[in-house]
Amino acid sequence: MLTKRIIPCLDVNHGRVVKGRRFEDIRDVDDPVTLARFYRHEGADELVFYDITASSEARKISLEFVQKVAEQIDIPFCVGGGVESLEDVATILRHGADKVSINTAAVKNPGLLSEAARKFGSQCVVLSMDVKRNAEGRYDVYIKGGREKTSLDAIAWAIEGVRLGAGEIVVNSIDEDGMKKGYDIALLQQMTTAVRVPVIASGGAGTIPHFIEAIIQADVDGVLAASVFHYQEIAIRTLKKALADAGVPVRHWEEST
């Protein structure tokens, strides 16, 4: 069985890492390069950076921090936010990112997923989804940093995204984002059943059992979190030991010392 990935998520706003709850009450955390070095040392398997206001402000992603992070760490990292074209994907990869996350632009121009996959390979193309449960119990897709509801059903969009070329899906629950009450297991189970590419859980981690539940109950390939790592409520090495004790295969945490 492949090892499960522990992935800190760093939301970047104008060059600073920030964190909120349900995409609101945004607070400053730290410098992205400083945090990237810290997480690499602590044993993170990957990092994800989202420029959270690039799409809503109709601007390109800030590339300065991308290049600096690439110079400082030797683990894979993904970058998203404000990606609108194949040129944007190429620029982010050229600045050192290993993967590019596409959310709003994929909804508006699904062909971008196919173009990017053909040009750079599916392994570089991540379909990022912000989703929210509706009154019928299904999940709607939101864009522009969770600010705009679309008519897309989340499960159907994930299937289509993979067909178009996405090699990985990060699914973030808006309902659970920053709440620390646990991942949306039902959502994740539907996702991992529907697609045959890696699925990364996002939104809701608050305790070590939450990570274990998502991996064991929903069979996700990775677990992404922000607050509990940023505020050092859960140490990555402690989390990895707990996962290993629960029978979850993880990359050994001492390899990153």
Question: Catalytic site residue 130?
Answer: yes
The span from the CA of 46 to the CA of 37, in Å, is 12
Are 228 and 204 in contact by the 8 Å Cβ rule? The answer is no
Catalytic residue among 88, 130, 140, 221: 130
Instruction: Count the Cβ atoms, other than its own, within 10 Å of residue 22.
Output: 15
3 state SS of 142: strand
Q: Alpha helices, DSSP H only, in 130-177?
A: 154-164
Catalytic residue among 11, 45, 140, 221: 11
Token pair for 62: 């800030």
> What's the length of the chain?
257
- Beta strands 5-13 and 16-21 are antiparallel
Are 231 and 205 in contact by the 8 Å Cβ rule? The answer is no
Please give the distance of CA 8 from its chain centroid, rounded to a whole number: 8
The span from the CA of 114 to the CA of 215, in Å, is 29
Q: What is Dmax (Cα atoms) for the chain?
A: 48
247: CB partners within 8 A, 6+ apart: none
- Beta strands 199-202 and 222-225 are parallel
Q: Which residues are catalytic?
A: 11, 130
